[in-house]
Amino acid sequence: MFGPAMAFNGRSEEKFRNSMFSAVNAALGTGIATLATATAYDVTKPDLTLYNSSVNQWALLDRMFLRALAVNTASTSFHVQFVVRQGNSLTSGGTTLPVVNMGGNAANLITAQRATIITASFGVLTAAAAAATFDRIIWREQIRDVIFTVDDTFHLTFGEGSTTGFAQIVLGTLAAKSSHALPPMWIGPGSTMQVHFISPSQSDDPLFEISVDWIEAPAP
């Protein structure tokens, strides 16, 4: 999404330099647990929340990367669902992912010239009860049609690209590596984007490494 956004603004890369942020789980090779029995959608049980605390700025999702570090026992397929909710819907649980400004220098990547408007939380989360008036399911996509293999990796790209899938042998097993093109997704002021992992028949979670990045409204 970054390329088209810059093109629309006359390729003004400097305008975006302090407007790109990323969140990555801290420990390489250490997955974060998610809900073990996420066999159906439950608005109170997201796996990732991105809360926009701003009163007037928007955030635009760019990419998300997931790597499975365990088998999701008994799963028959795996789906990712995106839900927009009003306010900060997260009530407890999970891990707060460290957010860095991708355009800052090494001494001030956390704040650079501006702090992020997004709080990113991942793992076994608990969210507020359903509020039908304000809860909006905006997208759902199946990204795996069988049980996971360790090292299955998924790239979700928002607003550009094409969906592809392929597999390669990794340590004697068949690990899937796929890319999925999703529509543009915005997180409005005072709103939360909830991401839900839904896996029919799953009896244990796969543990994930995660990276996610986004573009915030360009600095004036």
Per-residue pLDDT, 1: 53
In whole angstroms, give the CA distance from residue 83 to residue 194. 5
Q: Domain spans of the chain?
A: 2-12+26-216
For the cut 60, the answer to whether the pLDDT of residue 98 exceeds it is: yes
For the cut 80, the answer to whether the pLDDT of residue 141 exceeds it is: yes
Of residues 88, 101, 97, 141, the one with CA closest to residue 122: 97
For the cut 90, the answer to whether the pLDDT of residue 136 exceeds it is: yes
Query: In which band, very low, low, confident or very high, does the pLDDT at 133 lie, cut at 50, 70 and 90?
Result: confident
Percent of the chain with pLDDT over 90: 59
In whole angstroms, give the CA distance from residue 20 to residue 3. 12
Per-residue pLDDT, 46: 97
Per-residue pLDDT, 28: 84
Query: In which band, very low, low, confident or very high, does the pLDDT at 146 lie, cut at 50, 70 and 90?
Result: confident
Per-residue pLDDT, 187: 97
Q: Six-digit token pair at 91?
A: 């009530």
> Under 8 Å CB-to-CB from 166, ≥6 apart: which residues?
176, 177, 178
Per-residue pLDDT, 181: 92
Q: Six-digit token pair at 182?
A: 């999703």
Global pTM? 0.87
For the cut 70, the answer to whether the pLDDT of residue 140 exceeds it is: yes
